[in-house]
Structure formats: C-alpha cells, structure tokens
Amino acid sequence: MAAIAVHQFAQCITCHAWSPDQTMVAFCPNNTEVHIYRFSLDKWERVHVLQKHDQIVSGIDWSASSNKIVTVSHDRNSYVWNQEGSEWVPTLVILRLNRAALCVQWSPKENKFAVGSGAKTVCICYYEQENNW
C-alpha cells in the first residue's frame, strides 16, 4: 500500500479510524463532516461524506466485525452509522453531557461503546431494541 500524505486529504485531521480490512479510512477534516476514502488502483478516492453533526467531530471508531462506525462531536451527540447497501445510515445517540464529547471506543463485543467527555466523565452506551441505542 502506498504511503499516505496528509495534505492529500485536508489541512488538519481531528480524528480518524481505519476499516477492519485496512482498505478504507474515515476521518474528520476539522469540521462537522466525516470523509471516508478507499484505496484502489494505487490512489485514494473519496467514497462517502457523513454529515449529521453540528460541531467539530472529535472521535471516530470503526468496529472490527460488525462494520459500524460511531462518531462523537463537540455538539455532545453521538451517531452510530450502519452501512445499508451503498449508503451509511445514522442513528442518533443522545449522550446527556454538559460538555463536548471528545473520544469514543467500541467494546470488544461491539454491543457497547464508551464516550469520553470534557466534563471528565465517561458515558457507556448500549443497544436497546425499543430505544434504538
């Protein structure tokens, strides 16, 4: 695989996550969007732009087996993105934080994720059928 130069993508990257097979990368170019690039034919091409957050995205994690992406932002919200066909469908997870969400990480079983915040607290989010996260 070819080396990646940061200037190919953006001036500043606030966070990133690799796909399980390492052929795609999701990153935030210091704004409210998450860009997904795929490596093919010896070059990187943008294949998706995820747009739902109102402020800078500060954390991304891509699950290893279920192919879900979780994002958190300074807007104190989180989205779980599921790929349905060629589209990424977001599900809002309200974190009930009073400060920005800064980082996120899936659990090993990928049924929960933890969100670190500027309030020095950690939210543990899990799936409930009736609440859809």
**What CATH code is carried by the domain that includes residue 62?**
2.130.10.10
pLDDT of residue 3: 54
Nearest CA to 72 out of 98, 47, 100, 91 is that of 100
pLDDT of residue 61: 98
pLDDT of residue 133: 64
Number of domains in the chain: 1
Task: Judge whether 132 lies within some domain.
Answer: no
Provide the residue range defining the domain that includes 117: 6-126
Q: Tokens 């940061």 — which residue?
A: 6
Dihedral angle computed from the Cα positions of residues 63, 103, 60 and 16, in that order, rounded to the nearest 10 degrees: -120
pTM beyond 0.85: yes
Task: Judge whether 66 lies within some domain.
Answer: yes
pLDDT of residue 107: 95
pLDDT of residue 120: 92
Task: Judge whether 22 lies within some domain.
Answer: yes
Task: Judge whether 20 lies within some domain.
Answer: yes
Task: Judge whether 11 lies within some domain.
Answer: yes
Sequence-distant contacts of 38-46: CB under 8 A, at least 24 apart = 39/1, 39/2, 42/2, 43/2, 44/4, 44/8, 44/9
Task: Judge whether 16 lies within some domain.
Answer: yes
Task: Judge whether 59 lies within some domain.
Answer: yes
* Cα–Cα dist 121/119, whole Å: 5
Task: Judge whether 1 lies within some domain.
Answer: no
pLDDT of residue 129: 77
Nearest CA to 77 out of 95, 103, 59 is that of 95
pLDDT of residue 42: 86
Q: How far apart are the first and last CA of the chain?
A: 36
pLDDT, averaged per 10 consecutive residues of the chain (133 residues), comes to 53 92 94 94 92 97 95 96 95 92 96 94 87 69
